[in-house]
Amino acid sequence: MADGGDFEDPLSVNHEESNDFSKVTVKLQIPQFTVEKKFSLFKGKSKPKPKAGESEADVIFDDWGFKVQAAVTKKGKTTKYFYKVNKLPGEISKDDCTFEFDKEIIILNLVKKEADTWVAKLENGLDQEPDD
């Protein structure tokens, strides 16, 4: 995805910790983000992907955070979105983290290195060291 230009924040960011404290799901709401759902006779229903020519997204995980860039193109106008977490409340297993797409939502599945609760730390927000 091309860099440069102005970026907007996602419309909303929600997070939820799993019951066993091993994972956190983060949902970023991106207005007008569209997906394609494909069906194959041999494979069945596949996971939705960003709709080519209308929506695109890049997700990068590191040990303590992640960043997401998305772009939505409608009627020849592209709106870019950016969300970054510099430091999560705990370390994650970046190679085990995944992401998926739904209509207007990018879903991040964070796998923690240690299965302990982040509830108290999350009261200050997902990013423990936000940029100014």
Look up the CATH number of the domain holding residue 23. 2.60.40.790
Distance CA 44, CA 35 (A): 17
pLDDT at 131: 83
Mean pLDDT of 105-125: 93
Mean pLDDT of 53-81: 96
Whether the predicted pLDDT of 3 surpasses 60: no
Domain extent for 26: 12-37+47-122
Strand pairing category for 12-17 and 98-102: unpaired
Whether the predicted pLDDT of 43 surpasses 70: no
**Does residue 131 belong to any structural domain of this protein?**
no
Whether the predicted pLDDT of 29 surpasses 70: yes
Structural domain count of the chain: 1
Confidence of residue 124 (pLDDT cuts 50, 70, 90): confident
| Lowest mean per-residue pLDDT among 37-46, 93-102, 118-127 | 37-46
Buried b / exposed e over 13-35, threshold 16 CB at 10 Å, is bebebeeeeebbebbbebeebbb
**Does residue 62 belong to any structural domain of this protein?**
yes
pLDDT at 18: 94
pLDDT at 20: 95
